[in-house]
Amino acid sequence: MELSGRKFLVTGGAGFIGSHLVDTLLREGAGEVVVFDNLVRGTQANLDSARHDPRLKVFPVERADLMDRTAVAEAVQGVHGVFHMASHCLGACQENPRAGFDANVVGTYNLLEACVANDRPRVLFSSSSSVYGNARYVPMDEQHPFNNRNFYGAGKICGEALCRVFHAEYGLPYVALRYMNVYGPRQDYRGTYVAVIMRIIDRLHQGLPPIVNGDGSQRFDFVYVEDVCRANLLAMEKDATVDEAINISSGSSTSVLELCRRIMALMQRELPVEFVPQKTDVLVTHRVGSTEKAATLLGFTASTPLDEGLRQTIRWKLNRRDG
Catalytic residues: 152
Element (H, E) at 84: strand 81-84
- Measure Cα distances from 145 to 133, 134, 136, 155 in Å: 9, 10, 8, 16
- Going by C-alpha positions, the residue among 236, 235, 251 that lies closest to residue 181 is 251
Rounded CA gap, 225 and 42, in Å? 15
Rounded CA gap, 308 and 294, in Å? 22
Q: Strand locations in 150-253, DSSP E?
A: 174-179, 181-183, 211-213, 219-220, 222-224, 244-248
DSSP state of 138: S
